[in-house]
Amino acid sequence: MITRILILLILCVAGAVDAFACRGEAIRQGRYDPLIGDRALTFVVFTPSTASPGMPGWRCGREHVLNPEMAKTQFSPFSTFKIANAVIALETAVADGPAFALQYDPARDPKRDWWPEDWAQDHTLASAFKNSVVWYYRELARRIGEERYRSALAKFHYGNKDISGGVDQFWLSSSLKVSPGEQILFLAALFRGGLGASERTLAALDYISQIESADGYSLHGKTSAGPIDRADSDDPLLAFKGRFGGWLVGWVIGPDKKRAYFALYTEGPDFASIKTFRQDMARRLLVDHDYLPPSFAPKP
């Protein structure tokens, strides 16, 4: 039986963010051990109270957490940073909406053997988000620039806020680190008006991030993955050998328009072990704990 416990959803990280201190439910991991196998896994899902950011109690609400200690640990966000990256690009007018297009330049970003077929072509903000096109968001990052990133990440309280790994790659197995709990805090503050993003930006983010819509619910989010210990080599293929970390970070919008924010992080022995597991496991946990209806359950 799931036991109700008082949990800290997020620990303060260098004093940068306040802690959640709400009553939640622990998810009993043993129930899912056959699915988890030899992977490490943490999952947090949170529906805030009706209070607004800045009002007492807005960080409280309904929440479930699996492996709370791991949920406080910071990891590379990999491509889940595309959520924040899209917000920053839209708010700084580097991009003007989901249809904002960039031409693919093979001289700037040579095609790699490991690239998916749909990367080496022109993309929009929406198509690059959906297909996780790294070159597109690296070019956005160059246009945004270090100064605007430092300002935005400080405002967002986004993880360790460290962009020292390079303006176009600090989120890719590099200097930027964020915990699952901090991902939740960022999303909740973003959509509840605490970060000052415009309604136009939030509507664009909802549009480009939608994974599925059915039965009055919509599931939004971004998957990502990357090597845990990047190989010390100029050969990019070597970076895909060994243990991998992966995310699905996003939100659910219910028929009542209330949002539940979630973050799943997992580690496995290789990319194949987490490739489909990330979304399948997140869907299973969201359905099992009544954040999504059964129609969203992973297919057998």
User: Which amino acid, 300?
Assistant: P
For residues 101 and 89, is the Cβ–Cβ distance under 8 A?
no
User: Which amino acid, 184?
Assistant: I
Give ∠ CA 267-272-276 in degrees, rounded to 5: 80
Task: Provide the token pair at 13.
Answer: 């990280």
Question: What are the angstrom distances between the C-alpha of 290 and each of 65, 284, 287?
Answer: 14, 10, 5
Report the C-alpha gap between 160 and 175 in whole angstroms. 9
Task: Provide the token pair at 41.
Answer: 């896994």
Q: What is the widest separation between alpha-carbon atoms in the chain?
A: 58
For residues 211 and 219, is the Cβ–Cβ distance under 8 A?
yes
Is 79 among the residues known to form the active site? yes
In degrees rounded to 5, what are phi and psi of residue 290?
65, 30
Residue of 76, 79, 179, 218 marked catalytic: 79
Report the C-alpha gap between 52 and 54 in whole angstroms. 6
Catalytic residues, which ones?
A: 79
